[in-house]
Structure 1
Amino acid sequence: MSQIEPTPEAVTQTRTYTNPVYEGYFADPFVWEYQGVYYAIGTGAAEAQGQVDEIAEASGVDSTNKLRVFPLLRSLDFLNWHFVGNALTRPDPALGDNFWAPEVAYCDGKFYLYYSVGHEDKNHQLRVAKSDTPNGPYEDVGEPLVDPKSCSFAIDPHPFRDDDGQWYLFYARDFLDTEGGVRAGTALFVDQLESMTKLKGVGKVVLRARSDWQRFLANRLMYGEIFDWHTLEGPCVRKHGGQYYCFYSGGRWETENYGVDYGVANSVMGPYSDAGNETGPRVLRSVPGRVLGPGHNSIVLGPDGQTEYIVYHAWGIKMAARQMCLDKLMWTPDGPCCNGPTWTPQTITKTIRISTS
């Protein structure tokens, strides 16, 4: 007698959510999916404010320095997020107390956590740690990715894997020249990864600030001089329709002028252009009285396996904390756009397969 095999049948479930999707302080959110589980890692309040040492003292951490940093969340449905612990075993305390903007890449059975560490707004260096599991603990490999002697401020590392398997690292660093109409300040850079823990050293500029909305602070004292300082940071790269889109956040993160825009290129190493954003960010911007300073995004497929979501942090109207939010990312003939930032209930779909005989 032949046996009838069960036939999978697709069923779509619709749910609702309201931003923020996690109540705690959670800046610079990076979300990824692994084996059907969603993970999120970000900058916590202590990491952002340089209070890691204070937490170490309060918790009685001894000289072996086993304190962990960077909050890690987990979700089975993309909507309900739960804290599961801190991910990174803190490296040498001499490196600093400010830990910013972690991102994770999976390659050849290992998880690699890229991050920056430093002292407030100076001496920030890029580093990488690795783990056998997405939960960690992640252990620093012991060397900076970029020589701090040649680049004293490097932040916001974003690993990107191209279709051919080659990995690249996008990040932000400081530039002081103003030739060709660019503004002095923090801007975007890319280099090829020779291995997951070493850059090849063939880096190129991705984008420089050119617009007033990207201003961080006028008359800012930096490197012993006064600058009209501009900021592009938080790169996140997505390939779509054969082109490379580098999403980034511009402006000052503590203000409502902060928002998300993008540059586009035909090659992963550029040249990139963000022409068309002269009046402000085109993907996410503040909604006065509702959502302020949305930015530093990552992009991930939702539970239906088709819809892309942009995950970002934003301030509430009281500016009490940066919290994790998510909204649908859409692609139009004019480029990517978003239906957010939202603060009212939104629908989300999930496709599940059940067996029928």
Structure 2
Amino acid sequence: MQTYTNPVYQGYFADPFVWQYEGVYYAIGTGAAEAEGNINNIDTANRLRVFPLLRSFDFCNWHFAGNALLRTDPALGDNFWAPEVAYSDGQFYLYYSVGHEDKNHQLRVATSNTPLGPYQDVGKPLVDPNTCPFAIDPHPFCDDDGQWYLFYARDFLDTEGGVRVGTALFVDRLQTMTKLAGEGKVVLRARSDWQRFLANRWMYGEIYDWHTLEGPCVRKHEGKYYCFYSGGRWETENYGVDYGVADNVMGSYSDAGNETGPRVLKSVPNFVRGPGHNSIVLGPDGHTEYVVYHAWTQNMDMRQICVDKLIWTPEGPRCQGPTWTPQTIT
């Protein structure tokens, strides 16, 4: 029996995505320099690459393994957010967003022959920035038939049917691993007060009561598709993880039942603040599922990677956490 205590890595590591390849676990995330858009915060050895990588041989002990992505054209921006990696036909694909602070973020993809990279950008955006000026948090999902899809977050300004203005979730089929089919559909929109990011926010030339759903992560369980997401304002204790469920990968999804707050992960006052932006991976036993997420340090100076078990209950998925005491890996 091995044990771990959250956070499982002491450095800055936000938006964690974990995958397993040939018996080894890898994690990629947003580092401090990527989040701030400050190249000077990256050590000299990795000045030309972005996105920190971690590696673990036992799922408990994680070690820094370099940075993944060869830095792109500076004109695209210096804010690199929320990378995720897919493996298909012998190639690794790194999906990410790049932009300037909270605007002009575009989705892109880079490739590598090895999990640790370096990853080279393919040279074009996945979504046209002229028609979608803000797209973040790409999440590749492979269905049982081998077809890949890309879930991501983008902005919506309409309120039709009682939905809230803000960032919400979208999905499109991947025609190839580097090209979307253009068949996109809305996955989920904000409907509840706990999902508010900021009141009276100046966006797109107007003032809005802005809401946010972000960080999609999809899992198929007993024939249904569960799209986990994080809602609210990422720096605050109201931020947490909820989900929508659908019978079809393209929807429609429903997150009814979450009106009073996130059901999967939420803050524990005085112990864990702002847990969110999760991925899901199988543990070493090959069947126990784990939610990998970030949470703030108590002094709010960094987000760190945490791990807790995913439990499927009759009421839906729940996380056996957040925890801050020693936990056993089964």
Matches within 5 A, 1:178-327: 178-327=159-308
Cα RMSD of the aligned pairs, angstroms, is: 1.1
Contact 1:290 1:316 in 2 (8 A): no
Matched, 1:59 2:40: no
Q: What runs of 5+ residues in structure 2 fail to find an aligned partner?
A: none
Q: Find out whether 1:341 has 2:316 as its counterpart.
A: no
Deviation at 1:59, TM superposition (A): 3.4
Give the deviation of 1:316 after TM superposition.
Answer: 2.3
Q: Deviations over 1:97-135 (max 9, x none)?
A: 000000000000000000000000000000000000001
1:18 equivalent in alignment to 2:5: yes
- Give structure 1 stretches of 5+ with no counterpart: 1-13, 350-357
In 2: Cα distance, 1:60 partner to 1:248 partner: 34
Structure possessing the higher radius of gyration over alpha carbons: 1
> 2:129 corresponds to which residue?
148
For 1:303, what is the secondary structure of its paired residue? coil
Question: Structure 1, residues 259-278: CA drift from partner, whole Å, max 9, x if none?
Answer: 00000000000000000000
Equivalences, count: 330
Aligned to 1:134: 115
**Does the residue aligned with 1:47 lie in a helix, a strand or coil?**
helix
Task: Check whether the contact 2:173–2:182 (CA below 8 A) recurs between aligned residues.
Answer: yes
Deviations, residues 181-237 of structure 1 (Å, cap 9, x unaligned): 100000000000000000000000000000000000000000000000000000000
Q: In 1, Cα distance between the equivalents of 2:26 and 2:45?
A: 29
Q: What's 2:146 paired with? A: 165
| 1:46 counterpart letter in structure 2 | A
Counterpart Cα distance in 1 of 2:65 and 2:319 = 30
1:102 to 83, 87, 91: 83
Identity of aligned residues (%): 81
SS in structure 2 at match of 1:180 = helix
Aligned to 1:39: 26
CA contact (8 A) 2:2 2:60 kept: no
| Structure 2 counterpart of 1:328, from 280, 288, 309 | 309
What CA distance in whole angstroms lies between the structure 2 residues aligned with 1:133 and 1:187?
Answer: 32
Q: Per-residue deviation at 1:252? A: 0.5
Equivalent-residue separation in structure 1 for 2:8 and 2:266 (angstroms): 18
Tell me the distance in 2 between the aligned counterparts of 1:274 and 1:60: 44
Q: Distance in 2 between matches of 1:45 and 1:149?
A: 28
Runs of 4+ aligned structure 1 residues displaced above 4 Å come to none
